[in-house]
Structure 1
Amino acid sequence: MFKLFKFKESATTTDNSTTGIPDDATLQQLKDELLGLMAQESTNHYRMGQIYNHIVEKKLAEQAGFKDARDFFSKNLADLSQTALTLYGAVADAFTEPVARRFGVTCLYLLLTYKEVASIQVNHQQPGDTLIEVPDDKGVVSTLPFGSCSVSQMRAAIRIRRKPTSSKPLPPEAEARAEQYRSAVLARFPKGNGTRVKVGLRNDKGSAVLDFTGIPLEQADGLLEALKAMKSSRQ
């Protein structure tokens, strides 16, 4: 677990009034502090995910007179995007806080996505050894442990899994739009209610296709509401 490095005041420190960084600070010391700050960010996002999940699962927004949690957040915390909240919530639901601090919330969310598209098993307590097939700039694929993968490498690994070799790749804007639909739909079906809804993106001869699975019949209206909300937001 990372520890935030704190510099001691030094009488020799000069010309650092704007940064607060001693002139004699070493590269290793600054690296350690950056790692600590990154861990703090992951902890904050993880906690936000826990809070979001609690509000959704306990239906606190509905009890307070809002249509749903999405309605509450859009009216009270507009600066928090639904995509980010869904990301934080998914990671908080699947992993422990120490794991989130170690690997980062964004990378873990991408691991969950890779798990779906690659149909692999992941040890949620120790995900670092999970093998990821990562393509380089020339398309040559190497197998790396998740613990060694960057965010960009995880995204590339997901992209190549979604792209059949016989089809042209999907444009980035299509993938981004698909992620917005995925977040909107999953927000309507919290895992705490026993559902396991999945939204998958596949490349059908160069066309982006969304697949919705695991939606209980009695909750099908939730899918319609999510799609209507997305349509309204794009108008």
Structure 2
Amino acid sequence: MAETNESNTTPALTLEQVRDSILDHLEQGNAGHYRIGQLYNYTVDTRLAEKNGYDSAQLFFSQEIQALSQATLTRYGAVAREFTEEACTKYGVINLTTLRTYANAAEFELTSDDPGSTPIDVPQKDGGALMRKSFSDCSLEELRLAVKHKRAPSQKAPPASEMARIELMRESLSRHFAKGARVQLKTNSSRGKTLVTIQGVPLADMERLMEALMDGLIPPPVRAAG
């Protein structure tokens, strides 16, 4: 994966400054989404919320940034960790998130600073042969079709509530393991249940894996109605 801006490059901020900065970035489009992701990563990585009396970063965000769901914050954070601001501004969070899903399904690593030239096998609606297109030339619909094609025919996408937890666990694994690590979390379905497989963990890093799982298993808090 291309070198990206990690949370330790963010100037030291108070929790109030994180909140105010995120609110300022809400209306700034793709570039703002990237910066929100950086701020989310900074808060989680430094345990800033816990140091200020919150049980978790998720609880802080649910109370103070109600305009964004936990799933959206996790998605912004993952994109900010894995891509550059330029890529996020150019392609947008949703397209880059779908590209990550495609890369996981196709089992290859994204290595370019600008993923625009990444080849995508797009199935044709008429049932014809696959058409290979570059990521930059694909619509979001084409990217989603490509993801669906790469997945096992019997595999159904997990429901939205489970996908939020899966993305939280993936973000936690990315945070606990160094860049270049081949640790992957994959999902499939069997008899109506979503199954999770984690692979590529060195035996010497089992304790690190347990820490990542504990952090990633913190369920997003339930918001009160209204």
Show the 5 A alignment for 1:55-74: 55-74=43-62
Question: Does residue 219 of structure 2 align to residue 229 of structure 1?
Answer: yes
Aligned to 2:207: 217
Unaligned regions of 5+ residues in structure 2, if any? 1-26
Q: Secondary structure of 1:229's partner? A: coil
Deviation at 1:40, TM superposition (A): 4.5
Q: 1:190 to 1:209 in 2, by over 3 A?
A: closer
* Contact 2:122/2:133 (<8 A) preserved: yes
* Contact 2:120/2:135 (<8 A) preserved: yes
* Contact 2:168/2:216 (<8 A) preserved: yes
* Contact 1:86/1:186 (<8 A) preserved: no
Aligned to 2:188: 202
Q: 1:136 to 1:204 in 2, by over 3 A?
A: farther
Aligned to 2:170: 186
Question: Does residue 139 of structure 2 align to residue 153 of structure 1?
Answer: no
Aligned to 2:11: none
Separation in 1, partners of 2:173, 2:86: 26
Unaligned regions of 5+ residues in structure 1, if any? 1-38
The TM-score, its normalising length taken from structure 1, stands at: 0.67
Separation in 1, partners of 2:64, 2:28: 25
Separation in 1, partners of 2:127, 2:190: 20
Separation in 1, partners of 2:78, 2:58: 15
How many residue pairs align between the two structures? Answer: 189
Deviation at 1:163, TM superposition (A): 2.2
Q: 1:193 to 1:63 in 2, by over 3 A?
A: farther
Separation in 1, partners of 2:119, 2:192: 27
RMSD, matched Cα: 3.0
Give the share of equivalent positions with the same residue, in percent: 30
Separation in 2, partners of 1:177, 1:138: 33
Q: What letter corresponds to residue 149 of structure 1 in structure 2?
A: C
Deviation at 1:205, TM superposition (A): 8.3
